Structures are given as C-alpha cells and as structure tokens.
Amino acid sequence: MNNRRKRTWKNYMLAVLTAAAVMGTGSLQPSSVWGEAGDREGIASLDEEEVYREEMEGDFELETEDSPDSETVPEEGLPDEMTGIDAGAAAGEVWGSPAGGGGVQASDEEPVLHQPKLTLESWKITDDQPLLAGETREGVAVFRNQSRDRAVYNLEISLEWEAQGLGFGKTSYYYPSAAAGAALEVPVTIRVSSGAEQQDAVLRFSLEYEDDKGTACTGSEKVILDIRQKAEVQASGFFMEEQVCATDTLSKDIKVQNTGKAPVYNVQVTVEGGGIFARSPLFAGNLETGGQAEGTLLLYVGTRDMKEPGTAGEGTEEEKYGETRGTLLLTYEDADGNLYTKEEDFRTVIGPSRTVALSVEEEETKTNPWWISGLLLVIVLLAGLALWMFCLVVRSRKELADARVIREELYGEKEKG
C-alpha cells in the first residue's frame, strides 16, 4: 500500500515538473521541453534533470502490477483515474495554463462575412463617337456583383451630374435583387442641348443596396462624357465669270469665318473642275469661335480636256472649249482631327485664249481675197459715176434757170419799148 502511494506520488511529481516545463516554453515539442538552457524555469539543463530523476527513483521503489504487494486502492489526495497526463493537466490548471499544457483553446467566434460589392464593369455609347451638341444618344452601363456567394437586394441606381446642357431619359433605376456574380445592364438615354459647352463632363452612378442580412451598403462609380460642338465654317465672296479664256489667271478674294462654337483647324479653300485649277490653295489656318480670315485664291484657266495646269490637251476644238463645271472646296478639322468638307458648285464657258484670237484676226487681215478689192473698186466707181451724174443734173438745172432769167429780161424790155 505504501509502495503504491509512493509510486503514485512520484508519477504526480513528474507530471507536475513536465507541466511546469511546458508552461515555460508554451509547447509540447521535445526541443522546447528538453532544449537549451533558459527555455524554461526550474530546470537549468538536461544533466540536472537526470540527476533529479535518479534521486526520485532512489527514494521510491517501483512496483509492477504483478507484485504481491500491489493493490487497487483509490489514490488519496487525487481524483479517481487521474494519473500521468491527467495529472499533468491538473497541474496545468494549477499554474493557470489550459488543460493539456501550453495549447490555445479553439475559438467559438463566427466567421467574418464580407459585404457584397457592386462595381461598374463597362460603359459604352452607340457608335463610339463623341456626343455632339443637339444629339440624343443611347448608352449602356454594366454593373457586376463581385461577391461569389452573396446576393444583393433592393438595389437603387441614381444618376448625378453637374455639366450644363445635359439631360437623361431616366435618372433613377430599381432592381429587386442581383445574384452572386450576376451582371446588370442599365440603359441610359443621353440628350445634349445645342448650346452645351464643349467639355469632358462627369456622369456619376450612385448605388444603394442591402446584403442578405439587411445591412445597408453604398457605392459610387463615374464615367466621362465627351461632349463636342459641331465644327462650322462658312466661305463668302467667291464668284465665277460667265465666260473665260484659256490661259487666263483669275484672282478671287475670299473670306472664311468660324460660325460654330468650337475651334477649327487647318482651314483651306481650293477648286476642282474641268479646266479650272488653283495655282495655290488659300490657307486660312486655325480659327477660334467667331474668328475669320481673308485671302486671295489664284485660278488658272486651261481647256476642258486639260488634266494638269500647263499641259496641252489632245482633244478637238469642241472638247477643249465650251461649258464646264467646277467645285469650290472648303476643308477644315475639329479638335479630334476629324476632316470636314463643304462644296459650292459653279459653271462657266471656256473659250480660246486671247492670243490665239488676235492671231486669227491679223491673219485674216493680211490674206484678204482679190474679189474684195475688185468689189471695193466697183463701189468707188459707182460712187464716182453717181457723183458725176449728180453734178450734171445740178449744172443743167442751173443753166436752164439762167436762160429763163435772160429771156424774161429780154421780153420785158421789148414791151416797154
């Protein structure tokens, strides 16, 4: 009986020492319990512990279960069935450590649930072109629930903006729910007034919704609206004569003006047409809103069949000369580099060059036919004959008048005598 108590007491003391060593290291690893000096309190080294064990074993004699003196008697001072590691657990409770020595107890806290999040996945406007003043366009915003396992409920999307001249078909959208990972397409009708300024306007989407536990959530997304004014330029002062001669050079004074509400760039004026060529285009450069410029456009008149200025045509007289049509071209660009063209048609009649006409007249003068000279001689003779006959008639009449006067004078004297 006493031997049994001695053995039990020895086991209890060993368990207490083991628990104390575990408390000093916070682990049951062998390297922590039997490791380097300073890792635990009460035992400085492995040699000291071995000496201590030998002393304990010398004080108490061990008994086996087969020895005649062994008895199954409840241990005094200890609860039933508390030996070995159970005793160590009890010792650990005495020192304030968790049962089993040095471990951390499992937590009973609930797992963290992250709120679902809605984000803007894409934004697209029809035709992928800037919004022009005076237009109405359609856009689509796609929102996605980024949560993999939680839905959203009572979703409300509101539109907010500050730019003047903008309007929308709807400004608020409601959706009862959106499943985890689901996408929502939100159609947006955009109206831009004709007086809207050219700018990059901000459109904001304000999001309000709830998770599956009724917790309120909010979010905000934004897109940029590229608003552009129409580029407008007018040209004035151009006219074309009804008839021109080949090889002529025409000077045309032209004025161009920016009549739109946005700057324009690389403004030019030129002509295209059968037989009419621009010696050099009129370049007006860049024009701010309301700006204007003036210049002279020099035109060269060729023939209708002429392909390039100064080259001779190979057509007949009918193909070279006659009525022709042309076009005045006004070109300019907007801030995005888009090219605009305006056309004004004209028509005129191209005749032979003045040099050719004068040469023909001189040649005709030098090569008069003989019959013209004969005709002129006949005319002169006839005129002389007529004059001679006229003189004879006048002379005869004068002689008759003189004879009558003489006769009257003679007869008058006889009567008086």
For 265, other C-beta atoms within 10 Å of its C-beta total 13
What values do phi and psi take at 25, rounded to 5?
Answer: -110, -20
Domains for the chain: give ranges and CATH numbers.
2-94 (no CATH), 118-228 (2.60.40.10), 233-357 (2.60.40.10)
- CA of 117: how far to CAs of 135, 154, 213, 220, 398, in Å? 34, 14, 14, 11, 137
Token match 């471990």: residue? 103
In a structure prediction context, what are the per-residue pLDDT tens digits for the chain, which is 417 residues long? Answer: 555 555 566 666 766 666 665 555 544 444 333 334 344 444 444 455 554 555 555 544 444 444 444 444 444 444 444 444 444 444 444 444 444 444 444 456 767 778 899 999 999 998 888 999 999 999 999 999 999 999 999 999 999 999 999 999 999 999 999 999 999 999 999 999 998 999 999 999 999 999 999 999 999 999 999 999 999 999 999 999 999 999 899 999 999 999 998 999 999 999 998 889 998 899 999 999 999 999 999 999 998 888 887 777 677 888 889 999 999 999 999 988 999 999 999 999 999 987 755 554 555 555 556 667 777 777 888 887 887 787 877 777 777 777 777 777 776 655 555
* H-state helical runs in 257-353: 317-320
For 405, other C-beta atoms within 10 Å of its C-beta total 10
**Whole-structure pTM value:** 0.51
For 48, other C-beta atoms within 10 Å of its C-beta total 12
Q: Go through 162-175 and write b for each residue having 16 or more CB atoms within 10 A of its CB, e for each that does not.
A: eeebbeeeeeebeb
d(CA 330, CA 309): 21
- 191 touches 164 (CB < 8 A): no
Q: Go through 377-394 and write b for each residue having 16 or more CB atoms within 10 A of its CB, e for each that does not.
A: eeeeeeeeeeeeeeeeee
Residue 353 gets the label, from left (phi > 0), alpha (psi -120 to 50) or beta, of beta
What values do phi and psi take at 305, rounded to 5?
Answer: -95, 10
Question: What is residue 393's DSSP assignment?
Answer: H
Angle at 241 between CA 235 and CA 247, to 5 degrees: 105
d(CA 399, CA 319): 72
CA neighbor of 11 nearest in space, from 71, 72, 91: 91
